[in-house]
C-alpha cells in the first residue's frame, strides 16, 4: 500500500485543505518553510499524540453520539491520518461512533447532516456511461470497493441514498483494522430510487425521489457497474453490502465465480458467528458436531451463517443431511418445515420433515444449546425465551446479532438477568459490561469488523481471483483461536477490539495461504507471507 507520508507538490492553503497530506499544526518548522505554510498556522508545533488528545477532548464533550459522528467525519475530511490514528488507537471508544450502532442513526439522518460529498453515486440515468463518469473519481489505484443500493440498511430497512453511510463506514474499518490505504478505497451507492415514502417526501433527501427500479433494468445497472470496475480497477475487490435478501443471494450467485467479490451480510456475518460458536464449544466443553443450533430469522444473514456452519459440520465428518439436522430455523410464520409453501429457495435446504410449530414449541422440542437471532426486530428474545433456554442448558449461548443496538433481539443485561447469570451472550452492536451478583460479565461483540478487513487484506495481498468458502471457514477458525481463556472466563466469545488489527493480519495471512493452496492467487508467493502482508498495512502516523 502507498505510504501516506510520501512527499507532495501541494503548498499553502491547498496543502492544508488536502485531507490525505494535511498534518495541520504538526507540520514542522522546516516543513512550514518548504510548503509555504509560514503564517498560515499557529506558532506551536504539535505532535500527532497532542493532536489526538485534542480530538478526544472535543469528542468527549459532545452531548450525543450523532454529534460525535459528525465531528469525526469532519476530521476525516480535513486530516485523514489523524482520523485513523484516533480510530486505531482508541477503537473501543470510536468504532461504535464511526460504525454500528451510531452509523444507523447517521444513515437515517444522512441527508440532514450532509456536509461534504464522499463516495461515488450511480443512478439509472448513468446506464451506458458508467465507465465515462467513473473517470471523475480522482484515484486510479482502487483496490477495495464497498457497494450498496440502500434497500436493507442494518435492521432499519430501505434508506435509499442515505445508505451511503454504510460503505463509508465499512471502508474506514478496512483502513483502521486491516491497513488498506484510504486512497485505495471506493464507497459506492447504486441509487436506484427508494420505496420509502417518507424519504421521497422529504425536501432535504438527496437521492432519486422515485420508486426503486427492479428486474432487468436493475440487473443491467449492476452488471454494467461490475463490468466497468473490473476494467477500471482490475485488482479491486467488490464487497456487496446491505442488499435486500433476494437480491443479495442473486447477485452473489451471479458474480462470485467470475469476479473477486463477496457479500458481507451473508458471508462475513456467517464467519463471525461461526467463530463465536467455535469459541462457545470450548466454554461448553463440547464439540461442534454435538451442538443443536436454532436461528430466529431466515434472511440472508441467518441462512449465510447456516451455510457456513453446514460446511464446518461436514468438515467434522458429518454428512450433509446430518449437518442440516443440527440447524433449525424459525421465522415469522414459525418453524421452517417442508410442508410450508412460502419458503424462499435459500431456506428450503433447512426445512425439516416435522409438523408446523411456534417458536416456543420449537425450542422445547429441539432443545438447542445455541440460539442465534438475525431478525432486525428488537425484543424477540423475551423473558420466556431466555428462561426456557436457561432451563434447557446450564450455559445457554445467546447471539442477538441484529444491528444497530436498538434492533437487538435482547440486551446483554436481559440475557444475564433472565438466565440467572448463566447466559453466554454475544451481539452485533456493543453492550457495556454487566455487573451481576458480584460478577462482571463482558458481552462479546460479534462484529463483522473482526472478519471482512482480514478477508479483504488477504485477497488483495495475493491478488486473488475470487473469494472461496474455505477462506471464510479459515477466517472463523483464526478468530476463534484468538479468544483467550481469560476472555471465556469473562463470558465473552470474541477477543478485545484492541486486538483487531493483529487478528486481521492473522486472518489475511490464512486467507492468502488458502488462495495459494487453491490456485486462486495471481501474485507469486513470497518467502515470508506474514512479513509481506504486514509491510503492506497503512500506518497513519506522522
**Is there a catalytic annotation at residue 209?**
no
How many residues does the structure list for the chain?
A: 542
Residue 44's SS3 state is coil
* Residue (of 445, 430, 501, 509) closest to 477 by Cα position: 509
In angstroms, the Cα distances linking 358 to 328, 363, 364 are 13, 9, 10
What is the distance between the alpha carbons of residues 401 and 156, in angstroms, rounded to a whole number?
Answer: 14
Q: Strand 434-436 relative to strand 439-441: parallel, antiparallel, unpaired? A: antiparallel
* Strand-pair partners of 208: none
Contact yes or no for 371/389 (Cβ under 8 A): yes
Question: How far is 36 from 511, CA to CA, in rounded Å?
Answer: 46
Please confirm, yes or no, whether 99 is among the known catalytic residues: yes
- Whether the CB-CB separation of 425 and 396 falls below 8 Å is answered with no
CA neighbor of 455 nearest in space, from 279, 260, 308, 316: 260
Catalytic entry in 23, 69, 84, 170: 170
Triad 431, 305, 459: Cα angle to 5°? 95
Residue written as grid cell 461448553: 284
Which entry of 99, 174, 249, 255 is annotated as an active-site residue? 99
Q: CA-CA distance, 339 to 179, in Å (whole number)?
A: 49
Q: Which of 304, 287, 286 is nearest to 295 (CA)?
A: 304
Please tell me the distance from the alpha carbon of residue 432 to that of residue 411, in angstroms, as a whole number.
10
Q: Active-site residues: which are they?
A: 99, 170
Amino acid at each position: 500500500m502507498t505510504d501516506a507520508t510520501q512527499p507532495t507538490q501541494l503548498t499553502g492553503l491547498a496543502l492544508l485543505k488536502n485531507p490525505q497530506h494535511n498534518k495541520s499544526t504538526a507540520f514542522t518548522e522546516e516543513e512550514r518553510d518548504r510548503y509555504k505554510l509560514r503564517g498560515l498556522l499557529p506558532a506551536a508545533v504539535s505532535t500527532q499524540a497532542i493532536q489526538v488528545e485534542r480530538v478526544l477532548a472535543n469528542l468527549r464533550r459532545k452531548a450525543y453520539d450523532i454529534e460525535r459522528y459528525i465531528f469525526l467525519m469532519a476530521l476525516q475530511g480535513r486530516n485523514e491520518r489523524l482520523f485513523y490514528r484516533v480510530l486505531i488507537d482508541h477503537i473501543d471508544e470510536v468504532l461504535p461512533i464511526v460504525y454500528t450502532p451510531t452509523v444507523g442513526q447517521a444513515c437515517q439522518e444522512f441527508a440532514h447532516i450532509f456536509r461534504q460529498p464522499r463516495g461515488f453515486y450511480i443512478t439509472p440515468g448513468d446506464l451506458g456511461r458508467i465507465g465515462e463518469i467513473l473517470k471523475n473519481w480522482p484515484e486510479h489505484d482502487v483496490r477495495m470497493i464497498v457497494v450498496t443500493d440502500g434497500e436493507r440498511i442494518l435492521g432499519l430497512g430501505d434508506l435509499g441514498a442515505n445508505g451511503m453511510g454504510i460503505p463509508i463506514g465499512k471502508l474506514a474499518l478496512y483502513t483502521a483494522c486491516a491497513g488498506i490505504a484510504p486512497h485505495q478505497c471506493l464507497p459506492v451507492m447504486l441509487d436506484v430510487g427508494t420505496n420509502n415514502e417518507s424519504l421521497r417526501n422529504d425536501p432535504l433527501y438527496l437521492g432519486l425521489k422515485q420508486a426503486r427500479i427492479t428486474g432487468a433494468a436493475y440487473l443491467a445497472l449492476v452488471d454494467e457497474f461490475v463490468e466497468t470496475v473490473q476494467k477500471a480497477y482490475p485488482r479491486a475487490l467488490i464487497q456487496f453490502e446491505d442488499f435486500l435478501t433476494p437480491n443479495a443471494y442473486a447477485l452473489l450467485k451471479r458474480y462470485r465465480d467470475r469476479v473477486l467479490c463477496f457479500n458481507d451480510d451473508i458471508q462475513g456475518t456467517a464467519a463471525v458467528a461461526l467463530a463465536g460458536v467455535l469459541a462457545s464449544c470450548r466454554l461448553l466443553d463440547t464439540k461442534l458436531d454435538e451442538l443443536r443450533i436454532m436461528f430466529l430469522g431466515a434472511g440472508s444473514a441467518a441462512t449465510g451463517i447456516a451455510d457456513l456452519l453446514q460446511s464446518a459440520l461436514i468438515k467434522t465428518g458429518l454428512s450433509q443431511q446430518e449437518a442440516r439436522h443440527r440447524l433449525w430455523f424459525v421465522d415469522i410464520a414459525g418453524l421452517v418445515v417442508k410442508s410450508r409453501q412460502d419458503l424462499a429457495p435459500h431456506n428450503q435446504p433447512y426445512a425439516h420433515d416435522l409438523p408446523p410449530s411456534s417458536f416456543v414449541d420449537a425450542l422445547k422440542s429441539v432443545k438447542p444449546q445455541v440460539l442465534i437471532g438475525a431478525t432486525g426486530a428488537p425484543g424477540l428474545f423475551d423473558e420466556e425465551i431466555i428462561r426456557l433456554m436457561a432451563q434447557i442448558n446450564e450455559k445457554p449461548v445467546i447471539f442477538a446479532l441484529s444491528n444497530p443496538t436498538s434492533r437487538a433481539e435482547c440486551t446483554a443485561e436481559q440475557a444475564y438477568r433472565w438466565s440467572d447469570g448463566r447466559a453466554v451472550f454475544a451481539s452485533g452492536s456493543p453492550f457495556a459490561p454487566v455487573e451481576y451478583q458480584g460478577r462482571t460479565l463482558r458481552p462479546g461483540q460479534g462484529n463483522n469488523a473482526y472478519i471482512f478487513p482480514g478477508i479483504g487484506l488477504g485477497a488483495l495481498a495475493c491478488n486473488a481471483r475470487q473469494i472461496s468458502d474455505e477462506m471464510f471457514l479459515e477466517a472463523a477458525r483464526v478468530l476463534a483461536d484468538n479468544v483467550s481463556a481469560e476472555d471465556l472466563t469473562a463470558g465473552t466469545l470474541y477477543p478485545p477490539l484492541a486486538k483487531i488489527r493483529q487478528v486481521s493480519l492473522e486472518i489475511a495471512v490464512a486467507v492468502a495461504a488458502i488462495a495459494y493452496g487453491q490456485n486462486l492467487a495471481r501474485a507469486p508467493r513470497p518467502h515470508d507471507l506474514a512479513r509481506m502482508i504486514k509491510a503492506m498495512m497503512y500506518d497513519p502516523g506522522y
